[in-house]
Chains A and B, each alone.
Chain A
Amino acid sequence: IAGITQAPTSQILAAGRRMTLRCTQDMRHNAMYWYRQDLGLGLRLIHYSNTAGTTGKGEVPDGYSVSRANTDDFPLTLASAVPSQTSVYFCATTGTRNTGELFFGEGSRLTVL
């Protein structure tokens, strides 16, 4: 059972480069989310998608973009990475029972130099 797969697990990136973090789920969940986790700041929502074809901005969307072409995939793109985007990024989904229970991927650790 894969659940939520994130790739890459870790990446070092030069500032100014473009980077896409991938998130794929096999649970057919409607809602998907991207969070970043930083020491002292906790988890903050970047973007979300309640269903395929729709996206919304979270608490810290600047510098990031997302797309939701289908149910399973929810990539997060950094168009021009900056050092402040160094973080651990988590993709999450909400179950189809509509209880709001959240399931997380294992995270992608990104370092921007």
Chain B
Amino acid sequence: KQEVTQIPAALSVPEGENLVLNCSFTDSAIYNLQWFRQDPGKGLTSLLLIQSSQREQTSGRLNASLDKSSGRSTLYIAASQPGDSATYLCAVTRVPGNTPLVFGKGTRLSVIA
């Protein structure tokens, strides 16, 4: 059974700092990995999707990497801003595609001005 773990559960950093959020998964037979952002009381918004054949994806100040063999992904946030404060979740789908995602419990990020 696929298990997804995110460490730390919560993180507080000063504005402007670069930071890394970690995600690990137990079964390397994944189809893709996604990173989501969730603001309090809201739904999840997809940030980045990495297919199993890819090593990384970038969007603005965000960069996500994937190492299938070690079962790890990282989300790098450059020059953090207070508006980045949210919960970040990673999720994986297993082969084949279109099967439901398994989620980590998220990292709650606070960026202090």
Q: B21: CB under 8 A from chain A?
A: no
Minimum CB distance partner of A101 in chain B: B49
Given contacts A43-B89, A90-B43, A107-B43, A102 and B101 within 8 Å (CB-CB) = yes
Dominant SS among interface residues on chain B: strand
A side interface size, CB within 8 A: 25
- Across-interface contacts of B44 in A (CB, < 8 A): 43, 90, 92, 102, 104
- Size category of the B interface is 20 to 34
Partner of B98, one of A31, A41, A105: A31
Q: How far, in angstroms, from A45 to B103 measured CA to CA in the complex?
A: 9
What 1/0 mask marks residues of chain B from 35 to 50 whose CB sits below 8 Å from any chain A CB? 0100001111110010
Q: How far, in angstroms, from A98 to B36 measured CA to CA in the complex?
A: 18
Q: Can you sample 18 A-B contacts with CB below 8 Å?
A: A30-B98, A33-B101, A40-B105, A42-B105, A43-B103, A48-B100, A90-B43, A92-B44, A94-B98, A99-B51, A100-B97, A100-B98, A101-B46, A101-B49, A102-B101, A104-B44, A105-B43, A107-B41
- Which 5 interchain pairs have the tightest Cβ spacing? A42-B105, A104-B43, A43-B103, A104-B44, A106-B43
